[in-house]
Amino acid sequence: MAPAGAKKSILERLDAGELVIGDGGFVFALEKRGYVKAGPWTPEAAAEYPEAVRQLHREFLRAGSNVMQTFTFYASDDKLENRGNTQRFTGQQINEAACDLAREVANEGDALVAGGVSQTPSYLSCKSEEDVKAIFKKQIDVFVKKNVDFLIAEYFEHVEEAEWAVQVLKTTGKPVAATLCIGPEGDLNGVSPGECAVRLVKAGAQIVGINCHFDPETCVKTVKLMKEGVEKAGLKAHYMSQPLGFHTPDCNRQGFIDLPEFPFALEPRILTRWDMQKYAREAYNAGIRFIGGCCGFEPYHIRALAEELSPERGFLPAGSEKHGNWGDGLALHTKPWVRARARRDYWETLKPASGRPFCPSMSKPDGWGVTKGHADLMQQREATSKEQLKILFDKANQND
């Protein structure tokens, strides 16, 4: 039990059946705001533009999140220096700054701080287990020093690398969550979601689930498969879901990065706040109790999750002060036809138009069919050369 006045831990909350609302997608949100570069997607903004990261944390807190994830996605040294990406800050400086910002904002509410690690270029380039684990160890040394509340291994396409990450995170003695960026077909080596979950639990994760790469519907479906696998194996775990804020019914095994719109033309796919309420309810009904979001999730999306689940949580988020239930604030509008939209049945059944009459509703994903070990996925510290790009351009044209 937590001492009087202390915050309950992540496991105390989940063990008690409480709902935990995660935060949203920092890399996409900050890229749109001008603080992250698309391509490397690295989080140097934590040290370079701390005011931007702090503000986004605050917006998610106000929207109802009670987990502040450190902005440490892709903050391993090998990723920070990959393909000519130059840095003014070391990985340690970025990780430490991210921990400080998350803790500062978490202390403004009933939020916990989660330190996160993610997949590495070293694994894709077939480096040894020892080498990959050393990269994770360097990051978690900072998390231990900064005393984060729990740890998340997130965004792994291969369960093997996620297992290695969990094994390293477990050495801290802190609670560990692990999420893969896979769909119902399994990881990129064909390991099923159920088997992936069993392996993560056996490696030491107390919370398992899915993040990124797919939309909420697909992610909830995949977490259900993970839950079935864990229960069939006679194991126990808590479950989490942090999907994309984009509709992706046309994705293949690789997820949204194979869509031709990735990453600069995904806006027509953004989920509405009402889509998010549907997701929150479906996740809850599936037995998922850690419900958040990833790329594409903005604070108003998280607010929608918190509002939908307010009966179970027993309260509304602070951000609902400026948001009427199911649009009832529109009753204050000057135009009568807009006032007529101040009702749940209108928004719950609306089929939004895209305003793009010559655009398809679905895309044809790229399907290069490469993963760890393929020459195309070998990473390098040097910048990608013009010659290397030409080879890729020619290959892309052949696949069109």
**pLDDT value at position 375?**
67
pLDDT confidence tier of residue 382, bands split at 50, 70 and 90: confident
Region of 4 (left: φ > 0; alpha: ψ -120 to 50; beta: rest) is beta
Residue 343 pLDDT: 95
Percent of the chain with pLDDT over 90: 81
Confidence of residue 2 (pLDDT cuts 50, 70, 90): low
Yes or no: say if 63 and 300 are a contact pair by the CB < 8 Å rule: yes
- In which band, very low, low, confident or very high, does the pLDDT at 77 lie, cut at 50, 70 and 90? confident
What gap in Å lies between CA 96 and CA 69, rounded to an integer? 13
How far is Cα of residue 324 from the mean position of the Cα atoms in its chain? 27
pLDDT beyond 70 at 82? no
**Residue bearing tokens 């984060």:** 148
Rounded to two decimals, the pTM is: 0.93
Annotated ligand binding at 181? The verdict is no
The response to whether 99 counts as a known ligand-binding position is no
Question: Is 219 labelled as part of a ligand binding site?
Answer: no
Q: What angle is formed at CA 347 by the lines to CA 61 and CA 209, rounded to 5 degrees?
A: 45
Range 102-110 average pLDDT: 98
Confidence check: pLDDT of 394 > 90: no
Identify residue 179 by its one-letter amino acid code.
Answer: T
Q: Check whether 340 has a pLDDT greater than 80.
A: yes
Q: What is the mean pLDDT of residues 354-372?
A: 83
**What are the tokens at 124?**
């894709």
pLDDT digits (tens, 9 = 90+) for 299-315: 999 999 999 999 999 99
Summarised one tens digit per residue, pLDDT across range 64-74 is 999 999 999 87
Report the CATH superfamily, name and number, of domain 7-328+363-396: Homocysteine-binding-like domain (3.20.20.330)
pLDDT, position 5: 58
**pLDDT tens digits along 109-152:** 999 999 999 999 889 889 999 999 999 999 999 999 999 999 99
pLDDT at 83: 60
User: DSSP letters of 231-294?
Assistant: HHTT---EEEEE--SB--TT--TT-GGGSTTTTTS-GGGBPPHHHHHHHHHHHHHTT--EE---
Q: For residue 109, give both structure tokens.
A: 């509410």
What confidence score (pLDDT) does residue 102 get? 98
Identify the pLDDT of residue 365.
Answer: 83
